[in-house]
Amino acid sequence: MRRALAVIAVGLVACSSGAKPTATVGSLASKDPTTTTTTAPETTTSAPPKSVWPEIDTSGPGVFISPNGIVLPVISDGVAHTPCNNDVAPVGTPILGANVVIDPGHGGKEPGAVGPTGLVEKDINLAVALDVQKQLEAQGAKVVLTHSSDYYSTIQNRAEIAQALHPQLFLSIHHNAEPDGPSDVPGNEDFYQIASPESKRLGGLIWEEITAAFTPYKIAWSADTDHGAKYRLSASGGDYLGILRRGAGIPTVLSEAAFISNPPEEQLLRDPAFLHVEATALAKAVTRFVSSKDAGSGFVTPYPRTEPAGGGGGPEGCTDPTL
């Protein structure tokens, strides 16, 4: 399967890298001896700027995008996983690698948090993720979403997609609920992998860019008292959040950009222009991560938490979409 995918990818590259015909400026000799023929001066074309994006790593098993747009991570030769973790023969278009994998949090039967007037988190997560993808691809990045439409997939499946594509980073997009209280400043926060310095750096860059983008909005913000770029430990001392645990080996961050449960923030999240501001901040942070050694900031030591972060993400009650 890996060799077949590689052959497909090489063939596509070969087809797209052929030389394009160049137009030449010619001059026809005039029959009138008094007419002067002018030859167009030679011009030099500077090379396009080098992309900040590293070369895609195609050594992973890759994924298939099914005819209905369902992402199927390849698990072994001839076997892929559905969103509910069921084995299936790979179908559709193969993708061998990516620079960035983006996970729009929740989906399908799992709505995530719901705002006071009914705004649903899963819809906002997906809208922001699609915008981030568009912006990064305009810069030359190869971006894959764990799902690009509204269906449920397990945390295991989402992480398997990232692991199969060997990206430079894995970003899970969420919006928050149940803050500690009101705040004079935006209460955006994100979670990084405790054992990964690069995940921490990405978390600090996301915190910087989101904070800078949200600060001009003078509303009644809400926040946790320890908001910032932080970790959350499990009882065993590892990462509590499943997407961070299962993303091990890839710098992974889960972003909680605003509190959908806070009425003024819910109203902001209803505004497509504000969602674009958030997406632009995330895209900037991701680009800085791959193009610089910036350390980021906003790091805090979280206070101990004993309450669950919320259910969901498992295979219970999962129904696969039509491939």
pLDDT tens-digit readout, 255-273: 999 999 999 999 999 999 9
pLDDT tens-digit readout, 79-135: 999 999 999 999 999 999 999 999 999 999 999 999 999 999 999 999 999 999 999
Q: How many CB atoms lie within 10 A of CB 99?
A: 26
Q: What CA–CA distances, in Å, run from 291 to 51, 52, 143, 285?
A: 9, 6, 16, 10
Residue 48 domain flag:
no
The boundaries of the domain holding residue 216 are 98-291
Please give the Cα distance from 247 to 160 (Å, whole number): 8
Residue 252 domain flag:
yes
Give the pLDDT of the chain (323 residues) as one tens digit per residue: 444 444 334 343 333 333 333 333 333 333 343 444 434 445 445 554 567 899 999 999 999 999 999 999 999 999 999 999 999 999 999 999 999 999 999 999 999 999 999 999 999 999 999 999 999 999 999 999 999 999 999 999 999 999 999 999 999 999 999 999 999 999 999 999 999 999 999 999 999 999 999 999 999 999 999 999 999 999 999 999 999 999 999 999 999 999 999 999 999 999 999 999 999 999 999 999 999 999 999 999 999 988 888 778 999 999 999 99
Task: Assign 298 to helix, strand or coil.
Answer: coil
Residue 132 domain flag:
yes
Strands (E), 83-185: 87-88, 93-95, 100-104, 143-145, 169-176, 181-183
Residue 86 domain flag:
no
**What is the 3-state composition of the chain as percent helix, strand, coil, each rounded to the nearest 5?**
30, 20, 50
Which CATH number do you get for residue 122? 3.40.630.40
Q: What CA–CA distances, in Å, run from 51 to 56, 99, 216?
A: 12, 12, 31
Cα angle value 217/221/223 (rounded, 5°): 135
Residue 171 domain flag:
yes
Whole-number pLDDT of residue 34: 40
Task: Give the strand pairing for 79-81 and 71-76.
Answer: antiparallel
Residue 223 domain flag:
yes
Residue 249 domain flag:
yes
Please give the Cα distance from 242 to 218 (Å, whole number): 34
**Number of domains, the chain:** 1
Residue 2 domain flag:
no
